[in-house]
Amino acid sequence: MNRIDKLFDQKKKNVLNVYCTAGYPHLNSTIEVLTALQQNGADLIEIGMPYSDPLADGPVIQQSNMVALENGMSISILFQQLQSVRATIQVPIILMGYMNPIMQYGLEKFCAAAEAVGVDGIILPDLPMYEFETTYQQLFEKHGLKFIFLVTPETSEARIRKIDGLSSGFLYAVSSSSTTGNNKAISDQSGYFKKLQNMQLKNPILVGFGIKDRATFQSAAANTNGAIIGSAYIKALQNSIDIQATTKEFLNTLLS
Amino acid sequence: MMTTKKNNFAVDEHGYYGDFGGAFIPEMLYPNVKQLQEQYLQIMYDPEFQKEFQQLLADYVGRPTPLFLAERLSAKHGVKIYLKREDLCHTGAHKINNTVGQILLAQRLGKTRIIAETGAGQHGVATATVCALKGLECIVYMGEKDIERQAPNVARMKMLGATVVPAVSGSKTLKDATNEAIRDWINNPVDTHYIIGSVVGPHPYPDMVARFQSVISKEIKKQLLEKTGSELPTHVIACVGGGSNAAGAFYHFLDDLTVQLVAVEAAGCGIDSGMSAATTQLGKPGILHGSKSLLMQTEDGQVTEPHSISAGLDYPGIGPLHAHLFKSGRAVFMSATDEEALKAAFEISRTEGIIPALETAHAFHVLNEMKFKKDDVVVICLSGRGDKDLDTYMKYV
C-alpha cells in the first residue's frame, strides 16, 4: 500500500505536511532536513525541486529555489541524495516542482527514478488537468505515484469533483487565491473548508498556502484532514546554524 | 462572427500550434484563463466591440498606418522595399493595437484593475495609455535592469498615472517582469485583467494578441494592392522577441505560401557567445509562462538569462506560433547581433530619415544577408520608433 494512503488510513485529523526545498540551505542538507522533520512530528514531507521560475511561489520559496540552484541542486543530484532515503525515512515523500525541469530530465525517466528511491506522490502546479488526462496520467500510475491536484476557493464545485476524481493521495486545498507564503487570513476561509468537507470527496484534504503558525494550522485543520506548511519553515531555516535544533523548535511550537 | 481560420497555422481548441502552445497554468489562474478561452472570440467579434475597437484604432491610434516605399534603401538592395509604419502609431509602436483591444475586452469582463509586464517599456506605455483613456488602475511590472536602460518610457508610464513595480528576481528583465505579473494575477484573480504584451502566455493569449495585431497585415495587403496591383509581397520581415509585431505582420500571409516570412531574432554578442537571445537557434522545447514553446535553458531545464542590447528582444522564449512556424519551415529565422542592429539603426536614420527602435533595427539588418530578385517586393514591419533608445544611440554617434 502506498505510504500516503496508509497514513490517511491511520490518521484522519491534524495531518502535518512540511515543505522543504531540495538542496536548501546547503546542497547536502536535504537528508538532514528530512530526518529532522520526521523526528519532530511531520507526517508527510514535500520536497520542492528548485526551478528558476517558480510561478506559484511567493518571495520566500523563490529565494530558497534560487539559493538551492546556486548550491548546484538538480533533479539528478536529488535522486542521488534520495538513493537510500528509505533506510531512515518512513514518512511519505512527495516531490513538488514545475514541468520544465522534469521535461528536460525526461518524464518517464523521472517517474521511474522517483519510484525506485521510494517517492510516494507528485505535485506539479503547472500541469493542468487536460494535459494530465491526455498525456501523463498512465505514466504516474504505472510507477505507483500519487498525483496531487490543487483546488482553490475560486474552483467551482463541478470542477472540484472532477479534480477529486483525477487526484490520488490527497487533495491540496489552496487556502486563498495567492502565491505561497501569503498573509491572507485563514480564519476567513472556514466556510470554504467546510464546503470541501461537506462535499464528501474521495480524497483526504490538506490545506496549504498561508499556514505559518499554530493558530493558522489549527484553523486550517479544524474542518479538513490537516495542513501543509512551507514558507514559514523555509524562513526558519534561513538563519539556522543547526538544522535539527531549528526544526525541533519550529515543529514543537507548531504542534504543542 | 468570424470563426477560426482553417489552416495549419491556426490555434486548435486546446491552444496548440502543432506541438507548441497549451495552457500550463496553476489552478489559481484557471477561472480567469478559462473565462478568456470561452469568451475572447465572442467578445472580439461582437459588432459593438468591433465598432468601438475600429473607431479607437482610427481616431486614437492613428490607423491605418502608412506603407512607405523606402526609395534609397530600395535602390541600395535593388528591390522594392516598403516600410509598414507602426512607429507612427500613438505611443510610438505597434504595442497599442493589442492594448486597445484588451482594454475593451477587460471592460466587458467587468475588470477594474489592469496589470502588464514590459521589457522595453513600449507595452507598458501602451497599457498605461489605454488605462488612462478608460480610467482604470494600471500596474506595470518591469525588470529592474530595464527600468535603468529605458528611463524615458518609465517616466511616460508614471506621467500617465501607472504604478511601475520593479521586478528584482532572476535576471531582472522581461522574463522576471512576466513572472511577477503572473504572480500578481494569482493574488488578485477577481478584479484584475492581465494584458500580456506579446504572443506568449497560456492559451488564448498567443492567439488573442495575434488577432489584435493582425490589423498590421490586413492593412499591408490592402495598401500593397493599391500601390502595386497585387496584395502579396514576396517577403515580409519582422523582428521577434516574444513575437507580437511579427505575428501581426505575418498573420494574413500565413496561408499565402508564396510569401516568404522572415523572423529576425536578437543574436546579442553572437549566437555562440553565451550572450544571445536567439531562441530558435539556442532553445529546446520547454514550458515557460504557461505555454510550451522553444526556450533557452540549461540541460537541467533552468531558464537561462538571455542577452540583447534591445530590452524588447531580451526574452528567453518565443511565442508558440513562431516555434511552430520555425519547426514547420513556414518562416525563415535569421538573426542580427547588437552591433549589426546598431549599424542598421544608423543606416535607416540616415537614408530614410526614420530613427527606428533598436528592436526594429534587427529586422533591417538582414536585408544585407538576403538575396533578392529584381522584381521582389519586400515589406519590413517598422514596429517602433527609436526615441526610447536615444541614450544607447548617443554612445555611438
Grade residue A23 by pLDDT with cuts at 50, 70 and 90. very high
Q: What pLDDT, on the 0 to 100 scale, is given for residue B1?
A: 39
The pLDDT tens digits for B210-253 are 999 999 999 999 999 999 999 999 999 999 999 999 999 999 99
pTM assigned to the model: 0.96
Which residues of chain A have a CB within 8 Å of the CB of B201? Answer: none
Instruction: Domain ranges for chain B, please list them.
Output: 16-57+95-209, 63-92+214-394
* pLDDT exceeds 50 at position B152: yes
* pLDDT exceeds 60 at position B3: no
Q: Which residues of A60-83 are buried (b: 16+ CB within 10 A; e: fewer)?
A: bbbbbbbbbbebebbbebbbebbe
**Mean pLDDT score, A80-105:** 98
Which residues of chain B have a CB within 8 Å of the CB of A56? Answer: 26, 28, 186
A133 is known as an active-site residue: no
Out of B28, B169, B285, the one facing A177 most closely (by C-beta) is B28
Right CATH for B16-57+95-209 from 3.40.50.1220, 3.30.450.20, 3.40.50.1100, 3.40.1190.10? 3.40.50.1100
* pLDDT exceeds 60 at position B4: no
> Cβ contact (<8 Å) for B300 and A62?
no
Which residues of chain B have a CB within 8 Å of the CB of A130? Answer: 14, 22-23
Can B16-57+95-209 and B63-92+214-394 be said to share one CATH topology?
yes
Cell 473565462 found at: B35
Q: Which domains does chain A have, with CATH numbers?
A: 14-255 (3.20.20.70)
B115 and A CB contact within 8 Å:
no
A126 is known as an active-site residue: no
Q: What pLDDT, on the 0 to 100 scale, is given for residue A167?
A: 97
Among A226-235, B34-43, B164-173, B324-333, the minimum mean pLDDT is found in B164-173
Grade residue B7 by pLDDT with cuts at 50, 70 and 90. low
Q: What pLDDT, on the 0 to 100 scale, is given for residue A252?
A: 96
- CATH number of the domain located at residue range(s) B63-92+214-394 in this protein: 3.40.50.1100
The pLDDT tens digits for B89-137 are 999 999 999 999 999 999 999 999 999 999 889 999 999 999 999 999 9
Percent of chain B with pLDDT over 70: 98
